[in-house]
Amino acid sequence: MTLLDSWIRGEHTGETLRGTTATFPTYRKGSGPGVIVIHEIPGLTPEVIGFGEEVVAAGYTVVMPHLFGTPERPLGPGSLVSAMRQVCVSKEFTKLARRETSPVAGWLRSLARDLHAELGGPGVGALGMCFTGGFALAMMVDDAVAAPVLCQPSAPFPVGKERAADLNLSPADLSTVKSRAAGGCQVLGLQYSSDAATGTRFDTLTREIGGAFIRVEFEGKGHSTVTAHRQQEGVDRVLAFFSEKLTG
């Protein structure tokens, strides 16, 4: 029996921000309010699936898109190289561009709208990690997302000070995020304070949306706050955030 055998495999087709139609596989499990868990590089690793199981056990319908990598393949040099190769050749992901939203965000917003329409409630949760960390912020542009969580957002790759501070959002999307934050939609962010991959994005978020940004930082060396370098406090804060925003 594999780690994903108990999950329902499906797919979702939606429009990207490039105006093209894309289809990606999805894995779904649980009941209750919807939460979209977006995997990090190199993909749906055992640690990411394990985190998804924790969210399911807390009382949520979890949908995990499969955007790149090989499902269930452990983190390692081979899986990292393979996933990076897929990411770098894909037009759906921005890697170095500043002030630009990754095109796949359009597809993710479509997935969130469909899940919200099906399950109802105040909205769905969205959690991104590492390379996909900022995707949850980009999804917040759509009212269907009521609980965005950014775990160690690392795109665009922090080459230089400007990219290290960039939120992976277009000016128009940033304006919408600020408007929603001013209207009461909070953003939860988790990172290791000394993690070079996240750059100074948390400072940018604090400056742009102020008190609507809930900033959680951990000491020590680490990167993946809810998976490989898991912090139980971080997982607890995420689940409490979802409970507050999605179930009241």
pLDDT, tens digit, for every residue of 1-39?
A: 799 999 999 999 999 999 999 999 999 999 999 999 999
**pLDDT given for residue 1 in this prediction:** 76
Nearest CA-CA partner of 24 in 71, 76, 73: 71
- State the pLDDT confidence band at 180, using cuts at 50, 70 and 90: very high
Residue 135 has pLDDT above 90, yes or no: yes
**pLDDT given for residue 76 in this prediction:** 95
**Region 107-128: what's the mean pLDDT?**
98
Concatenating the DSSP letter of every residue in 73-113 gives: PPSSHHHHHHHHHHHHH-TTS-SS-SS---THHHHHHHHHH
Structure tokens at 222: 């680490």
* Cα–Cα distance measured from residue 157 to residue 173, given in angstroms and rounded to the nearest whole number: 19
**Region 117-139: what's the mean pLDDT?**
98
Residue 237 has pLDDT above 80, yes or no: yes
Helix crossing, 201-209 with 171-182: angle to 10°? Answer: 60
Residue 218 has pLDDT above 80, yes or no: yes
* Cα–Cα distance measured from residue 73 to residue 161, given in angstroms and rounded to the nearest whole number: 33
Helix (H) or strand (E) holding 14: strand 8-15
What SS3 state is found at 136?
helix
32 burial class (0-12, 13-18, 19+ CB within 10 angstroms)? middle
* Cα–Cα distance measured from residue 59 to residue 87, given in angstroms and rounded to the nearest whole number: 32
End-to-end CA distance of the chain: 36
Centre a 10 Å sphere on the Cβ of residue 161 and count the other Cβ atoms it contains: 10
Structure tokens at 40: 């990090």
- State the pLDDT confidence band at 248, using cuts at 50, 70 and 90: confident
